[in-house]
Structure 1
C-alpha cells in the first residue's frame, strides 16, 4: 500500500497551502489546549525541517521553541502539550532535560518525556523524567521503528501505568513515508494497539491523527476501551486526500483531543480549528474537545 507521502506524488510529496491565518482565536471560545505541539532543541528541529522539506511537506512555521510557544500563547491558546521523540539510544535523557527546562520556563506548557523502546535503563530514564515534572511520554512507531506490541514496549507501558502518566504514541499507519528506516504499514495495525490495551488495562493511551488511516478500527477501539484517547492532529484539517473522519467525534467525544502538529505545518496554524468549529458540535462537545479532555488526560488544572 502506498503511503500518503509517496514520492511518486512529486517533490515535495505534499504541497504548501497559502490559506489565510487568524490573528487570534475567535472570541467566546472555551479554553483551547493544543495537545500536539512538537518542541525540540534547535539542531534537532532543524534536521526535522530538512527531512520534511525533502520528503514530507513544506514547513510554514520554522520557529524554534521559544518562538513557537509564544506564537500559540499570544494567539489565545491557553495550554500546550509539548512532544519530542528520540531516534537513537542515549538521546532521550537530553530531550527530557530540555523539555523539563521548557516547562520550568513556561508553566503553560505540559511537556512529555520520551525514551527509545529497548534501550538500556528505559524505566529509569522515564522515572527521572517524571521526577523532573514531565506529564507523560511520547513515542513514535515510524521514527523509532517499533511495533506497538513488541516485547521491548512492556517496560515502557508498565512505567507509564505505574506512574499514572499517559502515553501519546503515533501507532497509526499514516502519515507514513518510504523514507523512514522501517515500513510503518508492516509495524502498525489497530489489532496490535488492541493487544496493548488488553495487556496493559491501566495504561492511558492516546493515539494521534485519529488513528490514521485505520479510522474505523480506532472508532471500534474507542467503543470498547475506556483507557484510549485519540487526537485530531492533521486528520481533520482537510489537507490529506481523505474524507474527514467525523464518526470518531460522535462516538466518544469526551475521548478526543484537539491537536495540530505545530509548528511542522504546511498550512495555517488555525486551519484545523476552523474545520472543527465548522462542524457545529455543540458547546459541551467543543469545550471538551478543544481543551477540557486534554486537561483531564494530562492531569492539569484549569488554565
Structure 2
C-alpha cells in the first residue's frame, strides 16, 4: 500500500469517454495526421531517455498493421522497417529502447520472438520482450525458450489477442513471468475502442480485472501502457494500492486526443511511471510526447525516473 503524496483523486473528476475523445469511435476513425514539426534529436538538457514502448515486427506484419491503422486508427507517420526503427531512435539521442510485439494468431509467437532476439543480438541497446498468444498450446515452453534467448519480459495486447486480463488462459503466462522474474506489459486499458477489433474492449478490459491480477500475483511486475486509458482514476487507485504495478505514458501525454492529459498520474507515483512513444505507429512527430513531458516542470529526479531511470529498474538494466 502506498499513500499518494498529492490529493490525486479528490480534486479531479475522471475524464469520460466523450471528454477524452473516446480515442477512436466509429464516426471518428481514421483520425487526422498532426503534421507537427519534429526535432533533429533530443535536447541535451534532458536526462537519459529510454523509450519503453517501441514496436518492432517483421516487415509483412508491420505492413498489415499499418493498413489497419490507415483505415481504422490514424495515419502512421513513420513507416519504417524494424532495424530502421531502432536506428532512427538511437541516432536521435534515445539511449535504449524496449522493443514490443505481439502474436495475432496461434503459431506466430516463436518466430516473432526469434526475430526480436535477433535484433537484440545485433544492437545491445535494444531491450527485447517476448510474446505468446494466451491459451495457445505450449505457452509456458514458448516463454521459457524466449527467456533463454535473452528476452527480458513479455508483451500482450488484450484488444488484438481478445482476452481479459483475469481469465484462466493467462495463468501460465503470469506464472512463467513470476518464476523467471520478468516484467509483463499488457495493453489492458479500454482504449482505443474500435469496431474493427474482434472483441468489445470495454467488455474485456477494466481496471477492476487488472486489480484482481495484481492481488492474485503479488510477485508479478505488471506494466499497463497508455496510463490505463481511459480509466485514469481507477488506475490511480491501483497505483496507490499495489507496488507491483507500473504504467507507461504512451500517447496520453502527447495532446493528440481531445481532453486534458492525465498529468496527476505522473505525480502520484512517479517512480512507477515509464515514458513510451508507441513509435513508429504514431500520427505525429517522434519527439512530441517527450517534449511535452519535459515542459511540465517536474522535479528533476522525477523527470529522470519517468524518462529513463524507472525503465532501467523495471528491466534490471541499471
TM-score bracket, normalised by the shorter chain, equals over 0.9
- TM-score for both structures, normalised by structure 2: 0.93
Q: Could you tell me how far apart the structure 2 residues matched to 1:68 and 1:42 are?
A: 12
Q: Could you tell me how far apart the structure 2 residues matched to 1:242 and 1:213 are?
A: 11
> Does 1:124 pair with 2:146?
no
Q: CA deviation at 1:189?
A: 0.6
Alignment match of 2:80 (pick from 49, 63, 67) = 63
Q: 1:4 to 1:29 in 2, by over 3 A?
A: closer
Alignment match of 2:280 (pick from 254, 263, 266) = 263
What does residue range 154-165 of structure 1 map to in structure 2 within 5 Å? 154-165=171-182
Q: CA deviation at 1:176?
A: 2.0
> Does 1:190 pair with 2:207?
yes
What does residue range 37-116 of structure 1 map to in structure 2 within 5 Å? 37-116=54-133
Alignment match of 2:268 (pick from 251, 274, 283) = 251
Q: CA deviation at 1:280?
A: 0.8
Give 3-state SS (helix, strand or coil) of 2:168's partner.
coil
Residue deviations 1:187-208, cap 9 Å, x none?
0010000000011110000000
- Counterpart in 2 of 1:272? 289
Q: Could you tell me how far apart the structure 1 residues matched to 2:277 and 2:195 are?
A: 23
- Tell me, which stretches of 5 or more residues in structure 2 are unaligned? 1-16
Residue deviations 1:31-74, cap 9 Å, x none?
10000000000000010000000100000000001111111000
Q: Could you tell me how far apart the structure 1 residues matched to 2:68 and 2:147 are?
A: 30
Q: Could you tell me how far apart the structure 2 residues matched to 1:242 and 1:108 are?
A: 35
Q: CA deviation at 1:96?
A: 0.3
Q: CA deviation at 1:13?
A: 2.4
- Counterpart in 2 of 1:139? 156
Aligned-pair Cα RMSD in Å: 0.9
> Does 1:284 pair with 2:301?
yes
Q: CA deviation at 1:7?
A: 2.5
Q: Could you tell me how far apart the structure 2 residues matched to 1:215 and 1:260 are?
A: 18
Q: CA deviation at 1:268?
A: 0.3
> Does 1:13 pair with 2:30?
yes
- Tell me, which stretches of 5 or more residues in structure 1 are unaligned? none
Give 3-state SS (helix, strand or coil) of 1:129's partner.
helix
Aligned residues: 299
- Counterpart in 1 of 2:4? none
Q: Could you tell me how far apart the structure 1 residues matched to 2:104 and 2:66 are?
A: 15
Give 3-state SS (helix, strand or coil) of 2:247's partner.
strand
Q: CA deviation at 1:276?
A: 0.5
Residue deviations 1:106-156, cap 9 Å, x none?
000000000000000000000000000000000000000000000000110
4+ runs deviating over 6 angstroms: none
